[in-house]
Structure 1
Amino acid sequence: MEGSSVSVLEGIPEHLSPGQALWSPDDRGVVFVGWWHEPFRLGLSACSNRRSGIFHLDLASGHCELLSAEHAAACSPRLSPDGRRLLYLEGCLGGPHRQCLRLRMLTWLTKQTVTVLDVVQEPTEAFAGLYGEALPLRCWAADSRRAVLSTPQRSRTDLLLVDTEATTVTNLTAGSPEGCWELLTLQWDLLVATCSAPHRPPNLVVSVLPPAGRELPLCWVPVENTPTLPGVTWKTLTVWPPCSRQSPTAHGAQAFEALLLSPPDSTAPHPLVVCPHGGPHAVFDARWRPSMAALCRLGFAVLLVNYRGSLGFGQASISSLLSCVGEQDVEDTQLAVEQVLRSEPLDPHRLALLAGSHGAFIALHLLTREPDRYHACALRSPVSNLLALLGTSDIPDWRYASLGLPYSFERVPRVEEVATMLLRSPIAQAAQVRTPVLLCVGARDRRVSPTQALELYRVLRARGVPARLLWYPDGGHALAGVETEVNVFVNCARWLLRHLGQPRWGVTGQHSS
């Protein structure tokens, strides 16, 4: 900083891509995460299963030492205020690209590592496991013993307090009316966080962390008070698959959840927009989502489905989806739809699907299986052909893992695997689709090639199905950016309104436009 110079650190092995660096406790070295990138790099975004480790580079000698396990996926190192302990997340290699993680701690002087929190197979009321992609940059309490982090816990994201010596975990926000809590920073035991709900934008709140053993109840002071969206309500629904009623201990028998957002009762029975999430190993937590809240303002009810395989419900639930994609996830979504139609004031004749990526894969399967059930469908970056992704996606390993098959870099697909991938793909049954479909795709999508949507679009148009394709030249997989997101939402909303018909009344009592 004084000499205004920049230099590249030497001593990092050539087979590693370094990142997430911080100074070592004595300022004589650098701690960093190194990802193995040979023989070639695989997609890293939303993938916590890539081989990586926590390294220490001694600046004087140039020696680089691996501090974590040799064959694991480690990330997010966080040094305690006294410099004696290093927390980090660790997962298994391969398999699901996101999964339940371990919280590991290294004692700096001895370089001994212990597991503070292990992988949770089956969630309990107290703790469902760790699923966050990173620890907060400042997560340690001043005592260098406790740490605070945020992670999905079923369909919520809660703040958890971890005692690294007692290896215990305390949920600081369980039961709060807000469904999503995120820690921004923890300094001198001052907690700064945001909290939101499906009908309430994020609030900034602060609290002081009490001494150990007296953390509950925690008193939060709002810095701002964002009002809730008038008339919009939400609830969490629990859905039990049929097999779980017969044998609760059977593999894949776990319950799953869905979030229902409802507009004011004056519009009942509401048209319903069904949204299975992408990933597939992701989760719809109960946070503020402007697009979903806007659909409610337009008079639609919205069902966000956390089918088995979603994060926050234990590793066993995640593993249950392997080899069952296109089957279990599709059946779970339809099961959630049938349950909510029985229990809520919804119009069964005005159903629509809105989804992206793997969620769009599920939606397309539903269109082939229920060709007369859904009357509109709007999709973003859809997966329609698993086989075609082998040579075009930045995560070709997932195509094998999704079928329960091991992956290796030199692997060449076999005839039977190719056949299975094609049969599990919605494109194989595209002739059954009769629902109007809107497709939104980014030309620079590395995760799901836009050629997937082009192939599907041509098949639908050739068969006389109403279809429209929107092409975003600079868009990636997430179709992110203010202008792009607004354009996608407006076109999706118009598509739903056009093919479902206008909801009878808007939230203000005026006729919807």
Structure 2
Amino acid sequence: MGDIWRMNSHMEDVIKSYKTLTKIPSITDGRLNNNATRVTSRWAIRNLDKGKQTHYLVDYLLDDNLGVVSQSPFGVDISHEILTAVSPKETFKAVIREAKDDKDGSKKKFFLEVWSSAGLKHSIDLNALDIHGDVYADAEFGSLDWSSDETNVVYVAEKKVKKSEPFIKRKSVDDIITPASRKPEPGQEHLYRDDWGEQLAGKIETVVVVCKLPEETFTVLDFVPGGPGQVRFLPDGETIVGVTWETKTLGRLGLIYCTNRPSFVFCITFTGTFKILSGENKAVRSPRVAPNGDLFWLQREAHGPHHACHQLVRLAADDVKILLDSEDEEIDDKLVSVVVDIVEKELEISNGVFYGIYCGSLPSKCFSEDSKKLVFSTQQQNEIRSYVVDTETRKLVDITNNRKALGSTSVLCVQSDVILASFSSLTTPPQLFASKLSSMVRDGGIEWVRVSAPAEVPSSVANAKVEYMTLKSDAQAPVSSFTAIYFGPDEGKVYPLVVWPHGGPHSAFSNSYSLEAAFFNLIGFACLLINYRGSTGTGDASVFFLPSRIGSADVEDCKFATQKALDQYPIDDKRLLLYGGSHGGFLVCHLSGVYPDLYSVTVARNPVTDLASMSNTSDIADWCAVEAGWPFSEEGPLNEDKLLTLRRVSPIVHAQNVLIPTALMLGSKDKRVPYYQGLEYARRLKANGVKVIVYMYEDNHSLSSVPVEMDNLLNAADWLITHIKP
């Protein structure tokens, strides 16, 4: 299929390629039972007829050597389960299920169910209780956890808002005699309330909710300041730890993909005790409780770039108890010890080089039985790699499962000193592996045993060439090196090249399975995935290099990577295609304006085109200031020089130079990069005679719902193929 782009009826084959790839599932989660003899894995697959992802379970039984004895004959659909948690002794499984209201299909209903081996023990209609709003299941706030005695579960939900009504409204007799405490507030129904932004729309004020199951009674712990989330029980079964985001200073700026928000690790008790466990001016996340009661979490300095290197820190169980018994609200942050520190550039470890921690969260279960080892995964240059850290000696060991093939390993669960992980690469879909901590030898080698086989992919993808590029664009700069991944058909022909910088900008491409990359491969394109300076996974210095240099250093890196790829790989220099979203869209729009004769065609998804106007309306206004080079503040008068700087680093200043056909894919519900950014850019291109097309989707910044992904990816392919220079 390498020459599909030459065919007049190209879309028939393009659609066939996409449909083929949508039948390949992805791993979303996995857990081991208490004695590590059963794997319960969660998978997702695109269901084109339903227009959404179908989620399902597959179980595997393991022998003492982690070999698979048997597996589920069929997957079990769990698409309506938004949160699940198995109790500590595996007596019960709690499930929070989301369904549509029978009377009003636009409204959600939530049910808390508890199952035992004998069947359904509890089923509670949470909406009928009317004690809180929607239950949170997202990666920032969502959680469901059991107490050690298996009598309580805790989760996070939207705080119940008092009902409002118009100032003038005819009332019934029953309304007149309603107690004042239950009467709606007049004139408050249109009051604007900030939410947590992109993909967290409508999530405004969270509360911690505890259900005592034997009595089916609920307690709403609404005294935690800010926005609490990520809650779980300490071993005593009466204390809850979590993260809360500070809202007084900056309000509710966008939270998803933003690990820089000021926040605290806290603990609370049923009796109303509230304590802060982390230091000031920190951004924290992912608290985890070791079997011995020690508390670990990830932290970095608050503010600054939206993602950066994190420390892994520990607070001993005894110190938590001392704080709970004291009258002090905050702990002495000197008691918080650093287990893995921030890495500026690189750190030599026993079996390789380590660049720091950049993961969004730790595995839900990540400890050895004796609490002396913690297992985690993080971006490291072009891969996601996995590590074991000794929590006492702080020694790090790389246990990544790619000794025979390049790829990425992500730890899902650690139980009874057995590790469950997923492995994939650009040529291989996700598969499950297991290993025993006891198999780890001094040099870091560890024996991985395959649990699930990867789904079959077309031979063009399976046999493609994947190579890592180490690049150096400016030897005089404080940070000069960056990386890229070349992914192309391995047939010895000359191919069009998709030049593809990632968004963020403080994120990174990894050698992990990607439907988009596989799709471009199938329709006859090679891809260049560029981790320009500012990307995560190569040391904190690289992250902090880019602010004040966006629109220049990152653009030059992309141009430099393009030229190096032309020198090293079978690429047609007359068919260079630009493709990127968000900050990647920012970069491809820059490249088409700064180098109008180098590239052939552009597809940009929700691109940042003008920071000056974006800074007034985005859910992450601080991003514009920080990336342009100064601390964010909305106090005082507007600074005209700063507004001019924002405009000068934006691709819209080069719009008059653009010559190549440009397609823009925009989301009408995008809170991060509002769609007018793309519309303004499109108008300027059209005024200059450039061929432009705009697709508008009723979706958010990610454009990831199944119908939207299908349409924008197929239209992107059509646009690229149609406008390749002959």
Under TM normalisation by the shorter chain, which class is it?
over 0.9
Match of 1:271 among 475, 492, 496: 496
TM score, norm. by length of structure 1:
0.93
- Tell me, yes or no, if structure 1 residue 119 matches structure 2 residue 342: yes
Q: Of 28, 36, 44, which aligns to 2:246?
A: 36
Q: 3-state DSSP class of the match of 2:483?
A: strand
Q: Is the 8 A contact 2:401 2:423 kept in 1?
A: no
Change (3 A) 1:411 1:97: farther
Residue equivalent to 1:370: 595
In structure 2, the partner of 1:131 is 358
Cross-structure match for 2:431: 203
- Measured in 1, the distance between the counterparts of 2:470 and 2:444 equals 27
Aligned: 1:55 with 2:266: yes
Distance across 2 between alignment mates of 1:211 and 1:58: 40
Q: State how far apart, in whole Å, the 2-side matches of 1:344 and 1:209 are.
A: 41
1:172 matches 2:172: no
CA-based RMSD: 1.6
Secondary structure in 1 aligned to 2:711? Answer: helix
The aligned counterpart of 2:381 is 154
Distance 2:648 2:684 in 1: 17
Measure how far apart 1:11 and its partner are: 3.2
CA drift of 1:75 comes to 1.0
3-state SS of the aligned residue for 2:717? helix
Q: How does 1:182-331 map to 2 (within 5 A)?
A: 182-210=410-438, 216-226=444-454, 227=456, 229-241=461-473, 243-244=474-475, 247=476, 250-253=477-480, 255-266=481-492, 268-331=493-556
* 2:401/2:409 contact within 8 Å kept: no
Whole-angstrom distance in 2 between the partners of 1:321 and 1:489: 29
| 2:713 partner amino acid | F
Deviation for aligned residue 1:410? 2.4
Instruction: Give the match for residue 482 of structure 1.
Output: 706
Are the counterparts in 1 of residues 611 and 624 from structure 2 also a CA contact under 8 Å? yes
**1:499-510 alignment to 2 at 5 Å?**
499-500=723-724
For residue 511 of structure 1, what is the aligned residue in structure 2? none
| Distance 1:498-1:336 versus aligned 2 partners, 3 A rule | same
CA shift for structure 1 position 211: 7.0
Superimposed CA distance per residue, residues 208-240 of structure 1 (whole angstroms, 9 cap, x where no aligned partner): 111776583211111222256343121101111
Distance 1:262 1:4, change over 3 A: same
| Residue from 469, 477, 490 that aligns with 2:694 | 469
Q: Tell me the distance in 1 between the aligned counterparts of 2:547 and 2:598.
A: 28
Displacement of 1:398 in angstroms is 1.2
**Residue 96 of structure 1 pairs with residue 300 of structure 2:** no
Contact kept in structure 2, 1:11 and 1:63, CA below 8 Å: no
* 2:259 equivalent to 1:80: no
**Partner residue of 1:11?**
223
- Structure 1 Cα separation of the partners of residues 297 and 563 of structure 2: 42
Structure 2 gap ranges (5+): 1-212, 321-334
- Distance of 1:95 and 1:412 partners within structure 2: 22
Q: Is the Cα–Cα contact under 8 Å of residues 126 and 170 in structure 1 kept in the other structure?
A: no
Equivalent residues of 2:383, 2:511 under 8 A apart: yes
Q: Residue 440 of structure 2 contacts residue 447 of structure 2 at CA under 8 Å; is this kept in 1? A: no
3-state secondary structure, aligned to 1:402: helix
Equivalent residue letter for 2:357: L
C-alpha deviation, 1:404, in angstroms: 1.6
- Indicate conservation of the 8 Å contact 1:206/1:221, yes or no: yes
Q: Contact 2:299 / 2:313 at 8 angstroms: preserved in 1?
A: yes
| Partner secondary structure for residue 265 of structure 1 | coil
SS in 1 for 2:438: coil
- CA distance, structure 2, for counterparts of residue 452 and residue 32 of structure 1: 37
Structure 1 residue identity aligned to 2:229: G
Partner Cα distance (1:343, 1:213) in 2: 38
Q: Per-residue displacement from partner, 1:193-222 (whole Å, max 9, x unpaired)?
A: 110011111111111111776583211111
1:25 aligns with one of 235, 246, 251: 235
The amino acid across from 2:603 in the alignment is A
- Code of the residue aligned with 1:152 in structure 2: it is Q
Q: Is the 8 A contact 2:402 2:408 kept in 1?
A: no
- Give percent identity, aligned residues only: 35
| TM-score after normalising by structure 2 | 0.66
Separation in 2, partners of 1:221, 1:46: 33
Structure 2 contact 671–700 (Cα < 8 Å) conserved: yes
Aligned to 2:718: 494
Most deviating of 109-118 and 273-282: 109-118
Q: Which has the higher strand share?
A: 2
Aligned-partner Cα distance in 2 for 1:295–1:132: 27
Q: Following the alignment from structure 1 to structure 2, what is the Cα–Cα distance between the partners of residues 491 and 448?
A: 21
Contact 1:11/1:57 (<8 A) preserved: no
CA distance in 2, matches of 1:428, 1:469: 20
